[in-house]
């Protein structure tokens, strides 16, 4: 028995009866038939840092739908797997993003990928049995995404209950690099999902090439950008730049931000081997002589710096140069520091999208990206992981004049489109065709 965490407010269960669901064949549209007056029970999963900002707008849109008295009524439960558990990797994001407390916390924690995935799979199956949702929403590409998707896909095999519909938010992204754990998570989750919500056009093409029926796929935009647009003003008001001495204050008035760069690095392929990590740091050396580089450090990366004895790269930051290590930041402070940066250097996926939307030049410290729209239309360049490639990409970005160009449907309304689609599933027996 999983204990529900105490909640501040929860949507009331309208009826105890289990809805009748109708699953259609692969070629047809997924539909969900629920008796009148019955709430549709939706369970959204979050686990790791990049999930929180993708899930928050969906929860807000479901609540707005209910508050407006629209039908069907949604009963929503939030499940936290516990993949990320520290205050700075998890709790602070709940406060910043105004997320409700999780209704269920699986308390899984760290482990090898197999251990972590298996533990989430086992515990989430128990949650499914206990809660009997109609729809499960998973977001992004972390181990929690895959494990919970798999639990849903296998649910009917050992119970008499029908399995819930599985919705994947941020479907279709592909780096075509199967060495990347997230790529395996993306491909497998997409192939199990009933509803695939896509953030950029490449996602539609990738899913078509993999034989996923177009009827399951909907291009809705990007819920991570919904969060960015919602909290941008709050981020502007954050005191992070003053606190770090990156914005002067005179007579209580804020001056212009200083010329600085922002760095994030946490991918195992970049930081878990000494040579790769050192190559990247060497690639930054020209830049760090010119402007200060602020580096909020992921716990994994901090451990590697100590293990590999790389402290010399961070030993002498000054207000005008060097790399300055700081603790990981919350959402609002991170957006605050990102939007005024001269340049962002990252191996994260989401930051490539956020910098594109903000019009901030970005160098991706990887050999590929699963988010090609950020390079084709946005401000991102792929710098690779060799020192020479990184130096070249930085020089290119510093010399470039950026013309901001926000990708299609990154307009802050992705979550509304997702909720509209969920509504439509229930209301109509013959849904309208979705984009090819």
Would you say 182 or 201 has its CB closer to ligand UD1? Answer: 182
Among positions 23, 85, 308, 314, the unique one binding ligand UD1 when judged by CB under 6 A: 85
What is the footprint of ligand UD1 within residues 250-269 (CB under 6 A)? 266
Would you say 89 or 420 has its CB closer to ligand UD1? Answer: 89
From the list 184, 171, 183, 207, the residue with the least C-alpha distance to 54 is 171
Among positions 129, 162, 191, 300, the unique one binding ligand UD1 when judged by CB under 6 A: 300
Residue 302 is a binding residue for ligand UD1 (CB under 6 A): no
Would you say 182 or 194 has its CB closer to ligand UD1? Answer: 182
Among positions 100, 213, 257, 299, the unique one binding ligand UD1 when judged by CB under 6 A: 299
Would you say 108 or 128 has its CB closer to ligand UD1? Answer: 108
Place of tokens 């996926």: 349
What is the footprint of ligand UD1 within residues 64-83 (CB under 6 A)? 83
Build a one-symbol-per-residue string for 345-384: x at contacts with ligand UD1 by CB under 6 A, - elsewhere. Answer: ---x------------------------------------
The set of residues, in sequence order, having a beta carbon less than 8 Å from that of 307 and lying 6+ positions away, is: none
Distance CA(378)–CA(360), nearest Å, equals 9
In the sheet that 380-382 helps form, which strands lie side by side, from edge to edge? 323-326, 293-296, 261-264, 343-346, 362-364, 380-382
Q: Which of 209, 266, 298, 424 is catalytic?
A: 266
Q: Minimum distance from CB of 349 to ligand UD1 (Å)?
A: 7
Q: Minimum distance from CB of 433 to ligand UD1 (Å)?
A: 33
What is the footprint of ligand UD1 within residues 114-153 (CB under 6 A)? 142-143
Mark the segment that binds ligand UD1 (CB under 6 A) among 28-36, 283-291, 293-301, 336-344: 293-301
Contact 379, 356 (CB under 8 A): yes
Would you say 300 or 377 has its CB closer to ligand UD1? Answer: 300
Q: Minimum distance from CB of 87 to ligand UD1 (Å)?
A: 9
What is the footprint of ligand UD1 within residues 194-253 (CB under 6 A)? none
Pinpoint the alpha helices (H) of 217-367.
223-236, 240-243, 268-271, 274-283, 285-290, 299-308, 331-339, 350-358
Question: Residue 294 to residues 156, 234, 267: CA-CA distances in angstroms?
Answer: 49, 21, 18
Among positions 26, 86, 115, 210, the unique one binding ligand UD1 when judged by CB under 6 A: 86
Phi and psi at residue 242, to the nearest 5°: -65, -45
DSSP string, 355-392: HHHHT--EEE-SS--S-THHHHTSSEEE--SSHHHHHH
Distance CA(189)–CA(193), nearest Å, equals 6
Both tokens assigned to 245? 């001495």
Q: Minimum distance from CB of 46 to ligand UD1 (Å)?
A: 12
Would you say 103 or 182 has its CB closer to ligand UD1? Answer: 182
Residue 105 is a binding residue for ligand UD1 (CB under 6 A): no
Place of tokens 């005008």: 320
Build a one-symbol-per-residue string for 155-194: x at contacts with ligand UD1 by CB under 6 A, - elsewhere. Answer: --------------------------xx------------
Q: Minimum distance from CB of 362 to ligand UD1 (Å)?
A: 16
From the list 185, 218, 126, the residue with the least C-alpha distance to 435 is 218
Angle (deg, nearest 10), helices 223-236 and 350-358: 60
Both tokens assigned to 79? 């499940």
Would you say 189 or 288 has its CB closer to ligand UD1? Answer: 189
What is the footprint of ligand UD1 within residues 26-55 (CB under 6 A)? 48-50
Burial 272-307 (b: 16+ CB within 10 A, else e): beeebbebbbebbeebbeebbbbbbbbeebbebbee
Build a one-symbol-per-residue string for 311-350: x at contacts with ligand UD1 by CB under 6 A, - elsewhere. Answer: -------------------------------------x--
Q: Taking the CB of residue 428, how many other CB atoms lie within 10 A of it?
A: 11
Rounding to the nearest 10 degrees, give the CA dihedral for residues 303, 307, 313, 317: 50
Pairing of strands 253-257, 247-250: antiparallel
Place of tokens 């027996």: 429
Q: Minimum distance from CB of 141 to ligand UD1 (Å)?
A: 6
Distance CA(368)–CA(225), nearest Å, equals 21
Catalytic site includes residue 424: no
Q: Minimum distance from CB of 116 to ligand UD1 (Å)?
A: 6
Interface positions with ligand UD1 (CB under 6 A):
48-50, 83-86, 89-90, 110, 142-143, 181-182, 266, 298-300, 348
Active site residues: 266
């Amino acid at each position: 028995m999983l204990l529900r965490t105490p909640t501040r407010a929860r949507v009331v269960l309208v009826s105890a009866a289990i809805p009748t669901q109708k699953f259609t064949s692969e070629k047809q549209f997924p539909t969900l038939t629920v008796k009148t007056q019955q709430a549709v029970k939706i369970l959204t999963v979050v686990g790791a840092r990049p999930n929180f900002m993708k899930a928050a707008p969906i929860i807000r849109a479901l609540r707005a739908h209910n508050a407006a008295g629209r039908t069907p009524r949604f009963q929503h439960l939030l499940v936290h797997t516990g993949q990320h558990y520290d205050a700075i990797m998890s709790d602070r994001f709940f406060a910043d993003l105004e997320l409700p407390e999780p209704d269920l916390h699986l308390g899984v924690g760290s482990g090898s990928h197999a251990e972590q995935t298996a533990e989430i799979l086992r515990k989430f199956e128990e949650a499914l049995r206990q809660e009997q949702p109609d729809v499960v929403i998973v977001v992004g590409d972390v181990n929690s995404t895959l494990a919970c998707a798999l639990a849903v896909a296998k649910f009917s095999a050992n119970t008499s209950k029908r399995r819930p519909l599985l919705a994947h938010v941020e479907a279709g992204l592909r780096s075509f690099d199967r060495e990347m754990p997230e790529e395996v998570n993306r491909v497998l989750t997409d192939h199990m999902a009933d509803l695939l919500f896509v953030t950029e056009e490449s996602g539609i093409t990738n899913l078509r090439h993999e034989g996923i029926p177009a009827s399951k796929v909907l291009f809705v935009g990007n819920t991570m950008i919904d969060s960015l647009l919602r909290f941008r003003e709050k981020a502007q008001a954050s005191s992070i730049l003053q606190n770090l001495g990156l914005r002067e204050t005179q007579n209580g008035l804020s001056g212009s931000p200083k010329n600085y760069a922002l760095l994030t690095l946490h991918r195992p392929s970049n930081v878990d081997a000494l040579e790769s990590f050192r190559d990247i740091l060497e690639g930054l050396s020209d830049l760090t002589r010119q402007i200060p580089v602020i580096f909020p450090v992921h716990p994994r990366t901090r451990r590697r710096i100590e293990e590999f004895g790389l402290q010399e790269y961070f030993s002498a930051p000054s207000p005008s140069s060097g790399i300055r290590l700081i603790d990981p930041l919350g959402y609002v402070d991170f957006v605050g520091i990102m939007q005024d940066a001269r340049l962002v250097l990252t191996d994260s996926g989401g930051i490539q999208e956020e910098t594109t939307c903000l019009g901030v030049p970005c160098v991706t410290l990887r050999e590929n990206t699963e988010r090609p729209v950020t390079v084709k239309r946005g401000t991102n360049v792929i710098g690779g992981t060799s020192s020479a490639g990184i130096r070249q990409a930085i020089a290119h970005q510093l010399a470039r004049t950026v013309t901001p160009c926000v990708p299609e449907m990154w307009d802050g309304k992705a979550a509304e489109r997702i909720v509209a689609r969920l509504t439509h599933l229930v209301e109509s027996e013959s849904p309208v065709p979705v984009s090819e």
